[in-house]
Amino acid sequence: MENVLSPAAELAARVSSLFVYPIKSCRGISLSQAPLTPTGFRWDRNWLIVNSKGRGLTQRVEPKLALIEIEFPEEAFAENWVPKKSLNMVVRAPGMDSLNISLATPKDIARGVSVWEWSGSALDEGEQASQWFTNFLGKPCRLVRFDSASETRPVDPNYAPGHFALFSDMYPFLLLSQGSLDALNKLLKEPVPVNRFRPNIFVDGCEPFAEDLWTEIRINDCTFHGVKLCSRCKVPTIDQETGIGGTEPLVTLRSFRSDKVLQPNRKPQGKIYFGQNMVWKDDETRIGRGKAIEVGDHVFVLGRVTSSVEAAT
């Protein structure tokens, strides 16, 4: 795929919302500022709920996870944050007492943890957390935390060699535009909110599906590479307020955002695309500068392809 590089950075959009999802498949947290790490925004998908076999649980099979709310102390997103045992992540769900999880690194190890193609060890958050999630989901569960000190999880090297993720599905960042969401909602009988699609970076001010074409962007002096259109699973069909699933918006998306429609000259695989997966290019010469992005930041496009036909999928 050959990029068409602009002679100068083109102002294309602005950041309208930022989200992190500390426990995979549970509710997200909206932020005004999000500190960057090479594996995603700080705290994003650091935790995973696993079943009795160590397999990660998601809304695909446990839609009730949509009802679990997460609260963080504001200082945990400060640039120079230092872990303290006194600071907690607070977990809440209907009919349950709140659960406090220390942000200090736990010491117990859980082995045989797996999520999608990856398996390894993780940090176990203990019996109290295990019992809380077991009671809520009605099956034996444990809460584990990614062990960044001893484990790595590479993304697909065909798209982003040398990059890593924690417990996110495939890539560290997901970007979506308001224009794309608006275009979809115009076709739906009942519009859906952005939380159905669980982006990290939500931008406004660009044409619908402009993000399909972005191969390199800059936000607040930080460079991101668009590596692959995001293929959607059934999670967008789950109402994040009720945990109840349906058929939309995937039925409508399939009519104009399937691989068959977007790339008619390729063999269709039944994929539906909405949003752009991204990685952050950490520039070592900028240590201490530009390590966070904020709502209101401008989005400059440095490289793009000319059409969705050329976009990586």
What would the pLDDT profile of 102-124 be if each residue is shown by its tens digit? 999 999 999 999 999 999 999 99
pLDDT of the residue at 173: 98
Per-residue confidence band for 286, with pLDDT thresholds at 50, 70 and 90? very low
Query: What's the CATH number where 95 sits?
Result: 2.40.33.20
Own/partner long-range contacts of 4-8 (Cβ < 8 Å, ≥24 apart): 4/303, 4/304, 4/305, 4/306, 5/302, 5/303, 6/301, 6/302, 6/303, 6/304
pLDDT of the residue at 182: 98
Rg (CA), the chain: 19
Give the integer Cα–Cα distance in Å for 3 and 52.
46
Say if residue 26's pLDDT is above 60. yes
What residues form DSSP beta bridges with 285? none
Say if residue 1's pLDDT is above 80. no
pLDDT of the residue at 81: 84
Going by C-alpha positions, the residue among 130, 135, 80, 134 that lies closest to residue 106 is 130
Give how far Cα 90 sits from Cα of 21, 70, 98, 103, 138, Å.
13, 6, 7, 10, 20
Say if residue 174's pLDDT is above 90. yes
Token match 């993304």: residue? Answer: 155
Summary mean pLDDT of the chain: 94
**φ/ψ (deg, to 5) at 312:** -70, 135
pLDDT of the residue at 305: 96
Q: Are 91 and 110 in contact (CB under 8 A)?
A: no
Q: What amino acid occupies position 208?
A: P
pLDDT (tens digit, 9 = 90+) per residue, 222-240?
A: 999 999 999 999 999 999 9
Say if residue 163's pLDDT is above 70. yes
pLDDT (tens digit, 9 = 90+) per residue, 32-91?
A: 999 999 999 999 999 999 999 999 999 999 999 999 999 999 999 987 788 777 899 999
Question: Where on the phi/psi map is residue 99: left (φ > 0), alpha (ψ -120 to 50), or beta?
Answer: beta
Does this model's pTM top 0.75? My answer is yes
Number of folded domains in the chain?
A: 1
In terms of residue numbers, what domain contains 160?
4-310
DSSP letter (8 states) at residue 106? P
| Beta strand pairing call for 201-204 and 173-177 | parallel
pLDDT of the residue at 7: 53
Collapsing DSSP to helix, strand or coil, 204 comes out as strand
Say if residue 6's pLDDT is above 80. no
Least-confidence region, from 102-111, 172-181, 206-215, 280-289: 280-289
Give the integer Cα–Cα distance in Å for 169 and 151.
16
Q: Are 276 and 226 in contact (CB under 8 A)?
A: yes
pLDDT of the residue at 285: 47
State which H helix or E strand residue 224 sits in: strand 222-231
